[in-house]
Amino acid sequence: MIAQYQRRFKDWIFDKVHHNQLIYNSCWEDPNCDQQLLNLDQNSEVVMITSAGCNALHYNLSSPKAIHCIDLNHRQNALLDLKLAIFKQSDYAKLFQLFGKGQFNQVNRYYQQYLRSELGYDSVLFWDEKIEHYFEGTGLRQTFYFHGTAGTFAYLFHLYLKINPKLATQIEFLLASKTMEEQKFRYEAVEKILLGPFVCWLIQQHFMLNLLGIPPAQSQLVKQKHKGGIIRFIKESLRQVFTTLPLESNYFWQVYLRGFYTHTCCPEYLKPENFEQLKNGVDRINLHHMDIGQFLKDNPTAYSHFVLLDHQDWLSENNKNLLEEE
Cα distance between residue 263 and residue 271, in whole Å: 7
Instruction: Give mean pLDDT, residues 90-114.
Output: 95
Cβ contacts of 216 within 8 Å, gap of 6 or more: 10, 14, 206, 209, 317
pLDDT, tens only, 40-78: 999 999 999 999 999 999 999 999 999 999 998 999 999
DSSP 270: G
> Would 43 be classed as within a structural domain?
yes
User: Do 168 and 309 share a domain, yes or no?
Assistant: no
Cα distance between residue 298 and residue 292, in whole Å: 10
User: Do 102 and 37 share a domain, yes or no?
Assistant: yes
Contact 215, 314 (CB under 8 A): yes
Domain coverage including residue 97: 2-20+32-142+271-325
Instruction: Give mean pLDDT, residues 264-271.
Output: 96
> Would 201 be classed as within a structural domain?
yes
The better pLDDT of the pair 317, 245 is held by 245
pLDDT of 1: 57
Cα distance between residue 307 and residue 224, in whole Å: 27
> Would 266 be classed as within a structural domain?
no
> Would 264 be classed as within a structural domain?
no
Q: Count Cβ atoms within 10 A of the Cβ of residue 178 and give its class: 0-12 exposed, 13-18 middle, 19 or more buried.
A: exposed
Cα distance between residue 281 and residue 98, in whole Å: 20
Cα distance between residue 10 and residue 16, in whole Å: 10
> Would 25 be classed as within a structural domain?
no
The better pLDDT of the pair 35, 277 is held by 277
> Would 263 be classed as within a structural domain?
no
User: Do 275 and 211 share a domain, yes or no?
Assistant: no
pLDDT, tens only, 219-229: 777 777 777 77
Name beta bridge partners: 70. Answer: 49, 288
> Would 27 be classed as within a structural domain?
no
Cα distance between residue 108 and residue 116, in whole Å: 10
Domain count, the chain: 2
Cα distance between residue 209 and residue 203, in whole Å: 7
pLDDT, tens only, 302-311: 999 999 988 7
User: Do 108 and 68 share a domain, yes or no?
Assistant: yes
